[in-house]
Amino acid sequence: MARIRQIKPEFYLDDELAQCSRDASLLFPGLWMPADKIGKLADRPAKIRARLFPYDTDLGTEAVDSLISELEGHGFLLRRDGFIHITNWRRWQHASVLREHIPSSIRKRILSAGSCISCGSTERLTVDHKIPVSKGGSNEIQNLQCLCSTCNTQKSNRIIQATDRNEITQMR
């Protein structure tokens, strides 16, 4: 479902956005409309192309996919698990976002791992967001992981790839 969004005047003066192509700069605010309240939308380039560029016959699905990758390369987006997450969502939009509660059944399922996935500790376990809520992450089970409170604090609101898990324990 498309939503009404606003573009701030300073949007066009953003130094990082100026490094993107004109089509990528046009696509970026267009992605805000189908995004949900935390800046997440389905990674479906054909549908995005149909919604945002219906009359641009010279712009195919592959080109839109390439523009999405360009925006990701500049840090505006993160593609993961079939979704596009708009990073720094609150910078671009001031949607009323209430942090949703993680249902106890999901919380128990994550904590049933029994140990921190970073350091292996079995004490003071917490549920952590792989993609932080502040960066567009959700409470879906695929975005949750078990960390001890120390590793969770060290990770803060950063996105740590699976190959970088020992980075958290090295910071101790």
DSSP 69-99: HHHHHTTSEEEETTEEEETTHHHH-----PP
Number of domains in the chain: 2
pLDDT at 13: 92
Q: For residues 101 and 106, what is the distance between their CA atoms, to the nearest angstrom?
A: 10
Residue segments in the chain with a per-residue pLDDT below the cut of 70: 1, 95-99, 162-172
pLDDT at 126: 93
CATH number for position 142 = 1.10.30.50
pTM equals 0.58
Backbone angles phi, psi at 51, to 5 degrees: -75, -40
Domain that holds residue 84: 12-92
Q: For residues 29 and 92, what is the distance between their CA atoms, to the nearest angstrom?
A: 9
Give the end of a domain, one of 59, 92, 125: 92
Give the end of a domain, one of 92, 121, 141: 92
Q: 78-97: per-residue pLDDT in tens?
A: 999 999 999 988 888 875 55
Closest CA to 85 of 4, 159, 164: 159
Amino acid (one-letter) located at 108: K
**Pair (129, 58) in one structural domain:** no
Amino acid (one-letter) located at 95: A
